[in-house]
C-alpha cells in the first residue's frame, strides 16, 4: 500500500521564464527555489499532508501588484524559499497546485 496523496503540480511558462532569469544572475538562488518547491510538494503529498511552518505559507490578499498577470487570479498563496525569495502559487478549480512566479526581492530585470 503506497502512502501519499495524489496532488497534481504544474509550473506555468511564466514561472519557468522567471526562474531562467533568476538563474542568469544567481544560479544558487534558482537551485534553492527548485529545492524548496520539491520540498513543498513532498510536504503536501506525504503525511501529515501540510506544509511545515518553515515554509511560511501565506495567502496573498491583494498584496501582489506585479507582474501584472498575477492580478487575474482569484486567490494567491506563497511559500518561503529564504529571506530573499518566495514562490507564488494558486490552486486551480481542478485542484491542481500551479506555480506562477518565483519572486526574488533584490532582483530587478534590467
Domain chopping of the chain, boundaries = 9-100
Confidence label for 2 from pLDDT (cuts 50, 70 and 90): low
pLDDT of residue 107: 55
Here the cell at position 70 is 498575477
How far apart (Å, rounded) are the C-alpha atoms in residues 92 and 74? 10
Confidence label for 3 from pLDDT (cuts 50, 70 and 90): low
My answer on whether omega of the bond before 24 falls inside 30° of 0, hence cis, is no
Q: How distant, in Å, are the alpha carbons of 53, 73, 96 from that of 64?
A: 22, 10, 21
In 3-state terms, what secondary structure has residue 23? helix
Q: pTM (2 decimals)?
A: 0.88
Instruction: Dump pLDDT digits (tens) for 4-33.
Output: 678 999 999 999 999 999 999 999 999 999
pLDDT of residue 110: 41
Amino acid at each position: 500500500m503506497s502512502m501519499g496523496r495524489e496532488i497534481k503540480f504544474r509550473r506555468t511558462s511564466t514561472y519557468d521564464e522567471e526562474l531562467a532569469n533568476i538563474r542568469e544572475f544567481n544560479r544558487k538562488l534558482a537551485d534553492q527555489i527548485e529545492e524548496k518547491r520539491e520540498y513543498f510538494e513532498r510536504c503536501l503529498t506525504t503525511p501529515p499532508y501540510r506544509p511545515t511552518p518553515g515554509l511560511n505559507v501565506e495567502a496573498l490578499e491583494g498584496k501582489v501588484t506585479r507582474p501584472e498577470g498575477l492580478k487575474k487570479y482569484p486567490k494567491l498563496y506563497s511559500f518561503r524559499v529564504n529571506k530573499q525569495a518566495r514562490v507564488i502559487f494558486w490552486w486551480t478549480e481542478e485542484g491542481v497546485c500551479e506555480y506562477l512566479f518565483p519572486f526574488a526581492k533584490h532582483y530587478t530585470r534590467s
